[in-house]
Amino acid sequence: MRPPPVGDGSVRAAYAWLSRAVEPGHRAMWAYVSAEGAVDVAAQLHAGEGPVVLQRAVGARVGSDDSVRDLHRAERAAVRLLIPGDSDWPGDALWPMQQVAADGDLDCVPPLSLWVRGAGSLPSLLARSIAIVGARASTPYGEQVTHQLAAELAERGVCVVSGGAFGIDAAAHRAALSAGRPTIAVLACGADRAYPKANEALLDRISRDGLLLSEWPPGAAPMRQRFLVRNRLIAGLTAGTVVVEAALRSGARSTASRARDLGKPVMAVPGPVTSAMSAGTLAMLRAGGCIAVGSAAHVLDAIGRIGDDLAPHEAGPSEPIDELDPQTQAVYDAVPLRRASPIESIATVAALAVSDAVAAMSVLELLGLVEVDEGRWRKTRQDQKQR
């Protein structure tokens, strides 16, 4: 006999029930719902039926049903539940499915559903997005670099995604908002909750100008384990992850690891090796598979969306002397600065035949680097740098 459906029998109520019944990031649950559909899976598990591994995951929540209450509570808090099939469901395109299949025990499973607060369109924001994450106990250096990176990326139309925490996360969100661009905070608690409390005004502003996302139903508490599960979501929804500052042990590094698991670019901002808050990024750079970035151009280069964004080739200011062939350089070096010399002496100093020195000198004269005075040569005043 088919068990009775949960809530009002709708697909949305089924997803609401599932989001409370089992902690997100559960591979078997995701696979089973993908195969059987949310309505049937919720009904089975609610009735104490279905695969044993999922029954065990539901645990003490079997038989309870807060789905309709959660949906109403969400509505009152201007939170909506996005589910597969909704027009603004981000879709599976962002989440490399081959990784989901291949990674076995890793928790890189896509979300079942997403509780969303804010009016923006999730798919269009995520289409061009970057995760910028880092230490809560950030330094002024880290905050300055975060602000610079996030503001410039936001100005170039890249949506900055972070975790809404103190420190680097908050700096990234604030920079995007200060650039007048939407930003997304992915939370480890209900989208109606302000955590950390001190970021309440910031989170409110994000919900007005961007989006707050959560896999947990309204009211859910930010429990320790949920941050790691949430981190995979930050990595999975974005085109790449930038870690600005991180201690050796850090949640930001877990986000970076999930990005790598998902085959997405992982970036780290180097910092002083004397700073504990840059020890994590140094370890990332040393471990390999991580790109050092110092500018928005570097980040755009790594996520490689559009050709125009490619980081410009970097070179210091070029000096004409550096462009010369070695023989001409040797002659230039042999030309005195003050007291002018005859070409024969200069050839001797440069260890060249006089004919070669004459040829080189004509090039230098054309470039305005040397001047002749009664058959004797000296450097012109404009370039007196040695070495």
For 215-269, strand residue ranges (E) read 241-243, 266-268
- 248: contact with a second copy by CB under 8 A: yes
Nearer to a second copy, 14 or 122 (CB): 14
Give which of 3, 13, 74 is closest to 45, Cα–Cα: 3
Residue 48 CB, nearest approach to a second copy (Å): 11
With contact defined as beta carbons under 8 Å apart, do 14 and 46 qualify? no
- 310: contact with a second copy by CB under 8 A: no
Site pattern 200..229 for a second copy (x: CB under 8 A): ----------------------xxxx-x--
**Gap between the Cα atoms of 69 and 357, Å rounded:** 91
Nearer to a second copy, 64 or 124 (CB): 64
Residue 31 CB, nearest approach to a second copy (Å): 18
Nearer to a second copy, 78 or 297 (CB): 297
Give which of 225, 161, 136, 226 is closest to 189, Cα–Cα: 226
Instruction: Tell me which residues in 61-120 interact with a second copy (CB under 8 A).
Output: 61, 64
Structure tokens at 61: 């929540």
The distance from CA 205 to its chain's CA centroid, rounded to whole angstroms, is: 21
Nearer to a second copy, 9 or 320 (CB): 320
Site pattern 32..61 for a second copy (x: CB under 8 A): ------------------------xxxxxx
DSSP assignment string, 113-168: -EEEESSS-HHHHHTTEEEEE--SS--HHHHHHHHHHHHHHHHTTPEEEE---TTH
Residue 379 CB, nearest approach to a second copy (Å): 11
- The number of beta carbons lying within 10 Å of the beta carbon of residue 280 is 24
Residue 86 CB, nearest approach to a second copy (Å): 25
Q: In what order do the strands lie in the sheet with 341-342?
A: 341-342, 376-379, 370-373
Interface residues with a second copy (CB under 8 A) are: 21-23, 56-61, 64, 141, 144-145, 222-225, 227, 247-251, 269-274, 278-279, 281-283, 285-286, 291-295, 298, 314-317, 321, 326, 329-330, 332-334, 344, 347-348, 350-354, 356-357, 386-387
